[in-house]
Amino acid sequence: MAAESSRPADEDSLPPAIWVGAALVVATLGALTRPFEWAATGVVVIAAGVVLVYAVRRPSEPISPGPRLRNGLLLWTLLLLAVSGWELFALSRQESWTVPDQSHPTLSTLLDPALEQGPGRWAGWLIWLAAGWRLLR
């Protein structure tokens, strides 16, 4: 048992090529789905579930509290609250939650022209996966 606790944190992780390949597969599957449909939601839930299991099982280094951690936490919290507030305000002003309203656009409505189809949609999925991976690391 003592030998297990002395292993480096990266010993249990998969090679980067596996993660890149998985990201390309998820991005391709996601790009092939229609926006706001159950298939797209399924791809997101499955990808998030796999990464969540990885994050929970992976040993982590202790984080020492300090001003950098507090400032980062404050910044991310404010950003999350601002984006969530915008989304909730825009959704509450729409006549229907399932039909986008240009007078009160959500982030999805604003990004839809670039992410609606083709290479832009695939690139959007890759960017979303890369941002999630960055936050996980």
Which residues, at least 6 apart from 70, have a Cβ–Cβ distance to it below 8 Å? none
Q: What's the pLDDT at 4?
A: 46
* CA proximity to 36, closest of 112, 105, 101: 112
Distance between CA 76 and CA 84 in Å, rounded? 12
Model confidence pLDDT, tens digit, residues 67-96: 888 898 899 899 999 999 988 988 888 887
pLDDT grade, residue 12 (50/70/90)? low
Quote the pLDDT of residue 45: 93
Q: Is residue 120 part of a domain?
A: no
Domain assignment present for 32: yes
**What mean pLDDT comes out for the span 49-56?**
84
* Residue 130 forms part of a structural domain: no
Q: Is residue 38 included in any domain, yes or no?
A: yes
What is the Cα–Cα distance from 46 to 52, expressed in whole angstroms?
Answer: 10
- Per-residue pLDDT at 137: 67
Region 62-66: mean pLDDT is 79
Supply the Cα-derived Rg of the chain in whole angstroms. 19
Is 97 a member of any domain? Answer: no
Q: Which residue has the higher pLDDT, 45 or 103?
A: 45
- DSSP letter at 35 equals T
In a domain? residue 82: no
Percent of the chain exceeding pLDDT 90 equals 20
- Give domain status of residue 91, yes or no: no
DSSP state, 94?
S
Residue 119, burial from CB neighbour count under 10 angstroms (0-12, 13-18, 19+): exposed
Domain that holds residue 45: 20-56
Q: Does residue 13 fall inside a structural domain?
A: no
As a whole number, mean pLDDT of residues 36-59 equals 85
Alpha-carbon span 81 to 85, nearest angstrom:
6
Q: How many domains does the chain have?
A: 1
Question: Which tops the pLDDT comparison, 125 or 57?
Answer: 125
